[in-house]
Structure 1
């Protein structure tokens, strides 16, 4: 594939490497540095002129820092005369933010999600199943949640995707992480070739 450049911020470079492997292109280098006053600087260290540039960066902790990185990458690509800039954001954390409808309230979305999972486990147990499998799209777990879930004897498996990195020290034998790199690579290929991305989500025709 020619005239394409894929860059990654510091949020999830491993996923970007997988995507590039499926595309058959190298991951273009980028440098993120920090000044003495804590301000960031981003440099895209590959030619962007008249190229189709893809910037891969999920918004994971530290969310604000990764967001600023991404904005700076976009600015750098624009300043380097990229023909087109596409942001690949496997996880948009702000989409999950609670709505603040009254003043001085906390926004505990992640805590509520964790408590909800534990509550669902209790409800399932009331039905008397022999085993439970937990599945979620993003591997976003509140502090200690994976450990608590893994310690439940009737929970056989915890499945999530790698849209966001799960810290290595939180992995357990019961955790299974599925890669979305093939799907992202196909979406990138379709955008680059001018093909429909929505076709990826269409139901196959019945025989």
Structure 2
């Protein structure tokens, strides 16, 4: 007996709790792309800011017993993005949502994962506490700067990886990518670089750095061979691009032929765009976890590219909603 074909939206909403996806203001294009892949409409909500800078969030449809996913990346203005997400979670719980999952493509405070100087806050843990206190039942995120941030949460955390997307991008750009070398900009990136090198069946290299102070790090040596080869630099994010400039320069000084860069989060703050525009690289790519305005792409001298991870998030949301394994997406 044949099973009748179901449309994605019909399948997703065949459970008792309907699937509802909403978005904050930080990256609505990504949220819309996720909904397009899911085959469900982006939920209707409104966020307003009063003259005293207070934020109010209002849902314009029923959430009762719904399986609610709220997409909000922690990008500029970060504090507003976090506050808006807290209010959206709290409002959803107050509206009798069955379950609320905070979908945070870029969890910027993951960089603050330890007390590495006196009298500071471990902000990554503090934000985790606030999200749970607001009522988040689950967290879905991508490429945390420090994986141990998982341990800050007492609710389930699904941690997606963009490695497959980055690897496929390199392979499309360079058909003989297996003859190239994946370069980790520091020891902390070697695991990710090794995984991508295995996917490409390519070589692997790393830059050894020494810390001169709390804020200053200097590259000391390049471990591996990049002479005459295409180099693929991978990292979790680009902020001001200062480390990227150092990494590219040392690779070039060691004889690298062409240099491609791909990271998960393209924050591009401060002088990043000007530095990338002047950089001796073929291309710098990031995913759309952070919204990259067209103005930055145009100002980059044609070097910036944006890769789509909406299908990954859509698949993860489908698996969470239906009770399927999310870990299967990693392979």
Q: Please give the TM-score of this superposition, normalised by the length of structure 1.
A: 0.89
For residues 88-129 of structure 1, the C-alpha deviation after alignment (integer angstroms, 9 at most, x for no partner) is: 100100001374413599879x99863211110111011112
State the 1:47 CA deviation: 1.2
The corresponding residue for 1:53 is: 68
Q: State how far apart, in whole Å, the 1-side matches of 2:289 and 2:29 are.
A: 11
Q: 2:50 aligns with which of 35, 47, 52?
A: 35
- Counterpart of 2:97 in 1: which secondary structure? coil
The corresponding residue for 1:168 is: 294
State the 1:151 CA deviation: 2.4
- Counterpart of 1:5 in 2: which secondary structure? strand
Q: Which residues of 2 match residues 137-176 of structure 1 at below 5 A?
A: 137-152=264-279, 154-171=280-297, 172=300, 173-176=302-305
Q: State how far apart, in whole Å, the 1-side matches of 2:37 and 2:329 are.
A: 16
The corresponding residue for 1:190 is: 319
Is contact 1:100–1:107 with CA below 8 Å preserved after alignment? no
* Structure with the greater alpha carbon radius of gyration: 2
Q: 2:108 aligns with which of 78, 93, 111?
A: 93
- Counterpart of 2:84 in 1: which secondary structure? helix
For residues 107-161 of structure 1, the C-alpha deviation after alignment (integer angstroms, 9 at most, x for no partner) is: 79x9986321111011101111222111111001232322322323x31111110
Is contact 1:52–1:85 with CA below 8 Å preserved after alignment? yes
- Counterpart of 1:67 in 2: which secondary structure? helix
Q: State how far apart, in whole Å, the 2-side matches of 1:23 and 1:118 are.
A: 39
For residues 149-185 of structure 1, the C-alpha deviation after alignment (integer angstroms, 9 at most, x for no partner) is: 2323x31111110001112211142211001100000
Q: Please give the TM-score of this superposition, normalised by the length of structure 2.
A: 0.57
Q: State how far apart, in whole Å, the 2-side matches of 1:93 and 1:190 are.
A: 25
Q: State how far apart, in whole Å, the 1-side matches of 2:50 and 2:240 are.
A: 37
Structure 1 segments unaligned to the other structure (5+ residues): none
- Counterpart of 1:54 in 2: which secondary structure? strand
Query: How large is the RMSD of aligned CA atoms in angstroms?
Result: 2.4
Q: 1:10 aligns with which of 1, 4, 25?
A: 25
Is contact 1:5–1:54 with CA below 8 Å preserved after alignment? yes
Moved more, 137-146 or 18-27: 137-146
- Counterpart of 2:96 in 1: which secondary structure? coil
Q: Larger RCO: Structure 1 or Structure 2 (Cα < 8 Å, ≥ 6 residues apart)?
A: 1
Structure 2 segments unaligned to the other structure (5+ residues): 1-8, 121-212, 217-236
- Counterpart of 1:155 in 2: which secondary structure? coil
State the 1:82 CA deviation: 0.7
